[in-house]
Amino acid sequence: MRNKFAWATLLACMCVLTGGHYAAQSVKTAVAGSRGGDNLKLVVILSRHGTRSSTWPQERLDSYSAQPWPKWSVPTGYLTSRGYDQMKLFGSFDRASLAEAGLFAAHGCEDASMLYIWADTDQRTMASGNAFAEGFFPGCPPEVHTVAADERDPLFHSTSAGMKPAATNAASTQLPKRAATQIDPMQRELIEEMQHVLLGCAPKISCTPVRAPTLTLLGANVAAVRGTDGSMFKAQDPLALASSFAEDMLLQYADGMPMDQVGWGKVDEAQLRRFLALHTENFEQTHRTPVQARLQASNMLLHITHTLQQAVEQQPVPDAFGPPNTKLILIAGHDSNIAEVAALLEIHWSLDGRTDDTPPGTELAFELWQDEHGTYSVRVTVAMQTLRQLREMQDLRLATPPAHATLSVRGCNLREGGCPWAGFLRIAGHAMDRSDVSAAGAK
């Protein structure tokens, strides 16, 4: 785990030195192009919402900094207008990519009913679903499906209700142990750099702050608490706090804020990449732990698997998204959902100089292919806009795609980049804990 943290930091440095093109150039595979004589039948995309404002109240943010954090133009946790446009770009790109693969027509609305979107009930996820739909089918975007606004969708946010006591007990002990773990030297160095920035200093230079913050990173209490929303346990410690601040600086950068407002002018792209390694490590130790992933993501993986199965059998399957003839499913969720599903399948990626990162709009896709003999296989891919694509609102085209890669699923005998359908079912079934699957809102 520690070596992986160091590798993530090294990749960040390499990406900056090569002008941001290191990872993108290393994954020049087809995004969804034809695979020999195989036909693409269905794509299920688990997506993170677009660029949003901070989810912390302003007062809480300011308690850790010498200067007030920049104000957002939207309420706490909302998708920004720029985030909406970034998701439209991704929808437009996916339309072109899937048209190239023969799954959709390149233009028009004839097959608009073949796109089915399910979103979490947050404003940022529903708005992201709408933006994607608008980019994919301009002029005729299909509706975004969700549970009722006052309900909690267990697809995206599992709770301990109905879970096996042994599972919840394991979660309740694992995170406290994680929170009590000694911060390693590299983490401490980056957290100290973050502390300097919060004080209004350059990352590696101490200075006298304008005012002393109420709270400090390295002085944070080490604890693991149950989420107030009924979710599983969450770590509260210096690494978790620094991870959150790194994410907020990423969102400032992605939303196009003036650079003198990104980390108060102390964080350029190179420094941002260094800080994002803290976010990756925090997710590695929380959302990617086996116990947490099985509790949080078994429900999601079950629905994805049943949706693929429904396309194979061409008849309704319980807990599948959309009707059997659907060609594209978009599940508009969160970075935590992607990390947890990836952990269940033991898949990893390195894109744009970062390992296992999930910036706004990231897509984890499950492609169902059928060969000339009628045999099905599943190919798992990941795609994300690079930091510069986000910052500069670069158009996404087949000639200038987002960073992307085809992923290896552990235990799968790969066939031309795909996993045989029976093998994928076996791997997914073994990864899930069906006793931790609660009733879902997806219809």
Which among 362, 423, 420, 352 is positioned nearest to 386, based on CA atoms?
A: 352
pLDDT at 77 over 50: yes
pLDDT value at position 341? 97
pLDDT value at position 27? 33
Domains of the chain: 10-58+79-162+292-436 (3.40.50.1240), 165-285 (3.40.50.1240)
Beta bridge partners of 117: 144, 330
pLDDT digits (tens, 9 = 90+) for 124-158: 999 999 999 999 999 999 999 999 988 889 999 88
Return the percentage of the chain with pLDDT > 90, whole number: 71
418: which 2 tokens? 């795909």
Q: Give 175's pLDDT tier (boundaries 50, 70, 90).
A: low
For range 80-88, the mean pLDDT? 98
Beta bridge partners of 48: 333
pLDDT value at position 22? 32
Which among 113, 170, 82, 171 is positioned nearest to 325, based on CA atoms?
A: 113
pLDDT value at position 17? 41
pLDDT value at position 228? 47
**In contact, 405 and 379? CB cutoff 8 Å:** no
pLDDT digits (tens, 9 = 90+) for 223-282: 555 554 444 555 578 999 999 999 999 999 999 999 999 999 999 999 999 999 999 999
pLDDT value at position 410? 87
Task: Calculate the alpha carbon distances from 337 to 120, 153, 201, 321, 329 in Å.
Answer: 11, 12, 35, 16, 16
pLDDT value at position 178? 53
pLDDT at 176 over 80: no
pLDDT at 13 over 90: no
pLDDT value at position 150? 85
